[in-house]
Structure 1
Amino acid sequence: MRRLNLLEETRFERVPVSVFPGMQAASKEVAKRIDILIRQKAAEGKNAVLGLATGATPIMLYDELVRLHKEEGLSFKNVVIFNLDEYFPIEASSAQSYKVFMQKHLFDHVDININNVLIPDGMIRKEDVALFSIGYEAKIIASGGLDLQILGIGRTGHIGFNEPGSAPNSGTRLVSLDELTRSDAARDFGGKANVPLKAITMGIGTILAARKIILMAWSEKKAEIVKKAIEGEISAEIPATYLQLSNSVEFVLDNDAASLLTRYNTPWLVKDCNWDDQLIRKAVIWLAQLLQKPILKLTEDDYNSHGMAQLATAKGPVYDINIQVFNKLQYTITGWPGGKPGADDSKRPERALPVKKSVIIFSPHPDDDVISMGGTFIRLADQNHDVHVAYQTSGNTAVWDDDTLRYMEFAIDFAKSQGHSTHQLEALYEKMWQFFQTKQPNQADLAEIRTIKGLIRKGEATAGARFVGLPEFCIQFMDLPFYDRAKNQKLVSYEDDILQTMELLQAIRPHQVFAAGDFADPHGTHKVCFDIILQALTRLNDTEEWIKDCWLWLYRGAWHEFEIHEIEMAVPLSPDEVMRKRLAIFKHQSQKDIPVFPGDDAREFWVRAEHRTGETARIYNQLGLAEYEAIEAFVRFKF
């Protein structure tokens, strides 16, 4: 019976899928299978032939393989490795080359025979690539074929560098990289302009010939493309869908990457559900959005025709369900993000008391506060709460080099105008100029340059917070050490960051903490900054009485919003408040027009922010709630 239920739950999935609580557990399981394969082949006197991938996804897998080698005696002497791909052109010694990546994360730490490692050559002549590719295929065949191919998946749906349009029978070849793929690689190369336009990659036909294929994917960032690859029709537009042609493929996901699969995202379509309040709310809002109807206009026929008959039967009548969900959604709306004085707060997202709250807004970068929750920031200040903003990192990475020179030129000209000596400033200017002439992509800046870039961001953040209404003594620049340390070290300790955050929390003793809740990229600054805050709060929870009255609210950035059913506090903004928020964002002049790391969205940050909050307001209105200019959304995190 359980087997039948599982088949019913996964009936939309066209390939086998294994889902794990997190990427660490998933990586360990894949490493365990590789361990078994290698030992089994060694016992038979044979080589284990592995196809390996690069990028952020397999790093934890390689860490676990290194541990198995060092602690449990796993030998790689009988292992032959073919790497999936390599940028073209790129020097093998370049920090961004996949040869360096594999050495750093695996080869330098195990006993593999380097002659058994084959990686596409990123520096051969272009006219020799075709012959090289034929030879690469021949070597795979001569080795006995791939026993196991490890894959990640790009947001275009590429596997290896087989971008949209690739053929299912393609072999190793030179390909052009999709613009989204190059955008995703921009940070590694110090800007998209430095990312190679092409790559040499194994073909889809080469991958499909492997005796076992495991595709790994982590985080919400991959959830949308994972759903298309697993549940969608086979299409050249999503190359990963070609894996449905293999009888030996398995997708290994963490919960976040699997979150949009039908069995997790809309489980009522595939099974009977245990209907708690959260799931009811999600299902009803989903139905209203699907049919483009206000919640209170949904009918029993709407429920029955769209997979929600069980809910109607179990919790009906339908109109009562609609009213319940509508009221819950209405209760999230408040113009008083710090709580409304003298009001009944039993159906409000925040407490009425104390009337004046101590508040800390943690901002991972020096502009996340006004971009993500600038309107709420303004409300909290206008309503006379004791608001503090804490900028967790300097943000010095995201300043253009020529802006740095421009500020130095201003400093020199100002010093001259006041009759001061400019010898030291001019010497530093020349040093910086010479450095920029030879600076390599993603090369760390000189300490003096990092300081100047950090001061540029600090001045902008101060102007933004001052515009919102904060006095100088309420603006904190933490400059957490991990931010610069992570640029030069693989293993980074966050202990001093946590202790510094604990010290700030103890000094302010906040009733409210606002923190960035962008977890789509588990290796990004926002996630690291949140983990530091959470660890600090968790430790203080054991010793500090005040923390029992401290609520942690999460906000999101300019790119993505919480799902409507997740929102617990919705702060509506008037047209005037939207304009004030925009002007606060404008104070961050180094981030206007074209920032250093814009991602794959060409719009300016203020435009993205207004579109996101305007869209949230539009959805609330479509569901039957009042019409607002914009809404900033928050979710309470219970630590």
Structure 2
Amino acid sequence: MVITKNYIAKGEGANRFEKIPVQIYETADEAVKAVAREIVDLVQMKAASSEKCVLGLATGVSPIKLYQELVRMHREEGVSFRNVVTFNLDEYLPMPKESEQSYHYFMHHHLFDHIDIDPKNIHIPDGTLKGDEIDKFCRNYEKEIEAAGGIDLQILGIGRTGHIGFNEPGSFITSQTRKVFLNDLTIKDAIKDFGSRDLVPTKAITMGVGTIMQARRVILMAWGEKKAPIIKATVEGRVSDSVPATFLQMHSNVQFVIDESAASELTRADYPWLVSKVDWDDKLIRKAVIRLCQKLKKPILKVEDKDYQDNGLSDLIEKFGSANKVNIAVFNDMQHTISGWPGGKPNSDDSTRPERANPYPKRVLIFSPHPDDDVISMGGTEARLVEQGHEVHAVYQTSGNIAVFDDYLYEMMDIADLFSLNMGHPDEGYKQVKEAIWKQKSEGGNSREILKYKTALREAEALAACRFMGIPSERVHFLNLPFYETGSVKKNPLGKEDIDIIVNLLREVKPHQIYAAGDLADPHGTHSVCLDAIMQAFDVVCEDDWFKDCYVWLYRGAWLEWEVEKVDMAVPVSPSELSIKRQAIYRHGSQNNGPAYPGDDPREFWQRAEDRNRNTADLYNKLGMAEYEAMEVFVRYKHRK
């Protein structure tokens, strides 16, 4: 899903910093179709010669869409996989085959159970082995690959440590299939699949780097901005065992297939003017000047002609006539993003403001994937919209119930239990909840009964935060989208019911303004699905009269902030508003003092939010703008069906 398009240099010389061939697609959906077509062409070419086609396969998020496309091609185009032999890269250790987290389950669930491959041709490392059995299995795995004639095409993903398979930093280029210990960052990334760090295995069996390098062709796929830093390090960095994927620079037939988000830190995307002639637009000019200011540690209005000339930006001097003219244009552009009136300032000239003055007051829908993302990401703006008289609706798309620790719910039941006893009215209901928690602890998982109480707890917290900010309960909407309500970290695909719920709310409220989470870095993946649900709802309502006059603003979540060059509206947050935001976050007690899904950052959500907002204000200040305590920033989304 592309929310903000990056300018990516093309043509001769655009890839001059890259040491591996890279094909960039706008979206992962487009990319996997190209990879799937290459796989199918190879399979069919081999079949025409009565040969087996040997594929090396990967697991993880990156290849899921690829497997879905292969299944579609089998069902709709009659593609056969009877001549295919597969070898999977890796498996957790220990790991029962029937576990939902096992790669044996993953491969059958996403691919093998839906195509006509011969089960005898499927090879997946065995996570149930112990002791000497593991070494023997690994030696035999290598022999089986050799006996099959070697791997014709190896599909890879890439971890944020630069691992391919589970070849973590320190792996040798000659390494073969073996038992390995997982890197701490790899374990953190796996928490979203297991639900708790304690449940993530620390060991695995993996095909070695040397085994991968022997494949006749290698395709590595990567999607999303979280993969951008490691893609840059792999493609443009030096070969090193500290980033095992860099060994692929030495492969004679390798291709990286990535989307624009994963490509965003490559030089041709990050500094396109350094590699080719570019078509300058306002956002690219802004980006180039901001990068120059940050490099030189100068505000915009102090950059000189020589600064542009010495840093590959002579084009801008030629385009504008002088550094001063470039500076003034970009300074004004940045200045016009700042607005203390996120809903638009009534009875004013709005020609240079990000939001229109009329109508006033506006009906505003603030979508929040979980019951706290709104206050974490835009609590100051939310409070200001209320203060300035707009009809603000808070919309919580999922219950967020799996992110509540059992112990926290038990503590809340203790409080209620003690209160009822002190009032002389003991309530058996509290005792039943506590007994259910103890039973769940012994049996594992999340029972529907406990999830019901966790949902109620998170709704109560959201209502408390909204009440604190002045949003009445009748304007608080709990959608509880069905895709989320599985009771586990694995969610169902989006369905028509999910979209219909959002469509019905949109048509009921007919908002003039919509805010939604555009943060696709959420480690649990819910933000991405929730945004997709909103976009699909937009496809339904886009011809409605009210929608044609509706502005859509995207905020980021607890993990990343918009780059300043992409910002369309920056809302200053005063010290008192920052305090309101913090107090609203505090109302979400179940997510404080160590939330269930914190990502890589050990700070509390309120700390991340305040630091991020202050950093944004500091960036604006260093560029020469007014000094503010903090800033919340937004990108405007314009729907195109």
On whether the aligned pair clears a TM of 0.5, the verdict is yes
Residue number among 124, 128, 148 corresponding to 2:133 in the alignment: 128
Instruction: State the AA in 2 paired with 1:588.
Output: H
Alpha-carbon displacement from aligned partner over 1:155-176 (angstroms, at most 9, x marks no partner): 1111111111212221111111
| Correspondence 1:29 to 2:34 | yes
Counterpart position of 2:6: none
3-state SS of the aligned residue for 1:50? Answer: strand
Counterpart position of 1:308: 313
Q: Structure 2: how far apart are the matches of 1:480 and 1:107?
A: 30
Counterpart position of 2:143: 138
3-state SS of the aligned residue for 2:326? Answer: helix
Instruction: State the AA in 1 paired with 2:227.
Output: K
Q: Structure 2: how far apart are the matches of 1:119 and 1:35?
A: 21
CA shift, 1:486, in A, is: 8.9
- How many residue pairs match? The answer is 631
Alpha-carbon displacement from aligned partner over 1:236-256 (angstroms, at most 9, x marks no partner): 222111110101110011222
Alpha-carbon displacement from aligned partner over 1:357-383 (angstroms, at most 9, x marks no partner): 221111111100110001111111122
Alpha-carbon displacement from aligned partner over 1:132-167 (angstroms, at most 9, x marks no partner): 222221221122111111000111111111111212
Superposition pairs for residues 203-282 of structure 1, below 5 Å? Answer: 203-282=208-287
Distance change in 2, residues 1:226/1:167 (3 Å): same
CA shift, 1:46, in A, is: 2.0
- The two structures, once aligned, show a CA RMSD in angstroms of 2.0
Instruction: State the AA in 2 paired with 1:153.
Output: I
Superposition pairs for residues 94-493 of structure 1, below 5 Å? Answer: 94-420=99-425, 422-423=427-428, 425-439=430-444, 443=445, 445-485=446-486, 492-493=493-494
Residues 75, 110 of structure 1: 8 Å contact kept: yes
CA shift, 1:200, in A, is: 1.1
Counterpart position of 1:73: 78
- Taking structure 1 as the reference length, what is the TM-score of the superposition? 0.95
Q: Structure 1: how far apart are the matches of 2:429 and 2:604?
A: 37
CA shift, 1:417, in A, is: 4.5
Distance change in 2, residues 1:39/1:558 (3 Å): same
Counterpart position of 1:598: 598
Counterpart position of 2:4: none
Counterpart position of 1:582: 582
Distance change in 2, residues 1:5/1:533 (3 Å): closer
Residues 451, 487 of structure 2: 8 Å contact kept: no
Superposition pairs for residues 463-542 of structure 1, below 5 Å? Answer: 463-485=464-486, 492-520=493-521, 524-542=525-543
Structure 1 runs not aligned, ≥5 long: none
Counterpart position of 1:614: 614
- Worse-matched range after superposition: 553-562 or 472-481: 472-481
3-state SS of the aligned residue for 2:47? Answer: helix
Q: Structure 2: how far apart are the matches of 1:488 and 1:605?
A: 20
CA shift, 1:473, in A, is: 2.1
Structure 2 runs not aligned, ≥5 long: 1-8
Instruction: State the AA in 2 paired with 1:524.
Output: G
Instruction: State the AA in 1 paired with 2:365.
Output: I
- Worse-matched range after superposition: 72-81 or 397-406: 72-81
3-state SS of the aligned residue for 2:333? Answer: helix
Q: Structure 1: how far apart are the matches of 2:491 and 2:631?
A: 39
Q: Structure 1: how far apart are the matches of 2:343 and 2:73?
A: 51
Alpha-carbon displacement from aligned partner over 1:428-480 (angstroms, at most 9, x marks no partner): 543342122120xxx4x222111100111111111111111222222222222
CA shift, 1:356, in A, is: 1.8
Residues 177, 198 of structure 1: 8 Å contact kept: yes
3-state SS of the aligned residue for 1:214? Answer: strand
Q: Structure 2: how far apart are the matches of 1:351 and 1:37?
A: 55
- Worse-matched range after superposition: 459-468 or 119-128: 119-128
Counterpart position of 2:58: 53
3-state SS of the aligned residue for 1:532? Answer: helix
Instruction: State the AA in 2 paired with 1:539.
Output: V
Counterpart position of 1:628: 628
Residues 221, 521 of structure 1: 8 Å contact kept: no
Distance change in 2, residues 1:486/1:217 (3 Å): farther
Q: Structure 2: how far apart are the matches of 1:563 and 1:44?
A: 52
CA shift, 1:423, in A, is: 4.3
Residues 189, 523 of structure 2: 8 Å contact kept: no
Distance change in 2, residues 1:574/1:127 (3 Å): same
3-state SS of the aligned residue for 1:465? Answer: helix
CA shift, 1:504, in A, is: 2.1
Instruction: State the AA in 1 paired with 2:63.
Output: P
Instruction: State the AA in 1 paired with 2:125.
Output: P
Residues 237, 246 of structure 2: 8 Å contact kept: yes
- Worse-matched range after superposition: 423-432 or 583-592: 423-432
Q: Structure 1: how far apart are the matches of 2:490 and 2:183?
A: 30
Alpha-carbon displacement from aligned partner over 1:233-281 (angstroms, at most 9, x marks no partner): 1122221111101011100112221222222222110111111222111
Distance change in 2, residues 1:351/1:225 (3 Å): same
Alpha-carbon displacement from aligned partner over 1:390-417 (angstroms, at most 9, x marks no partner): 1111110100012222333444444445
3-state SS of the aligned residue for 1:228? Answer: helix
- Taking structure 2 as the reference length, what is the TM-score of the superposition? 0.94
Instruction: State the AA in 2 paired with 1:312.
Output: I
Q: Structure 1: how far apart are the matches of 2:522 and 2:27?
A: 13
Alpha-carbon displacement from aligned partner over 1:46-70 (angstroms, at most 9, x marks no partner): 2111110001111111112222223
3-state SS of the aligned residue for 2:577? Answer: helix
Ranges of 4+ aligned residues in structure 1 off by more than 6 Å: none
CA shift, 1:425, in A, is: 4.8
Q: Structure 1: how far apart are the matches of 2:584 and 2:45?
A: 62
Residues 359, 511 of structure 1: 8 Å contact kept: yes
- Worse-matched range after superposition: 109-118 or 531-540: 531-540
Instruction: State the AA in 2 paired with 1:480.
Output: L
**Percent identity of equivalent pairs:** 53
Instruction: State the AA in 1 paired with 2:263.
Output: A
3-state SS of the aligned residue for 2:13? Answer: helix
CA shift, 1:225, in A, is: 1.3
Q: Structure 2: how far apart are the matches of 1:491 and 1:501?
A: 17
Q: Structure 2: how far apart are the matches of 1:10 and 1:30?
A: 21
CA shift, 1:20, in A, is: 1.8
Residues 219, 521 of structure 1: 8 Å contact kept: no
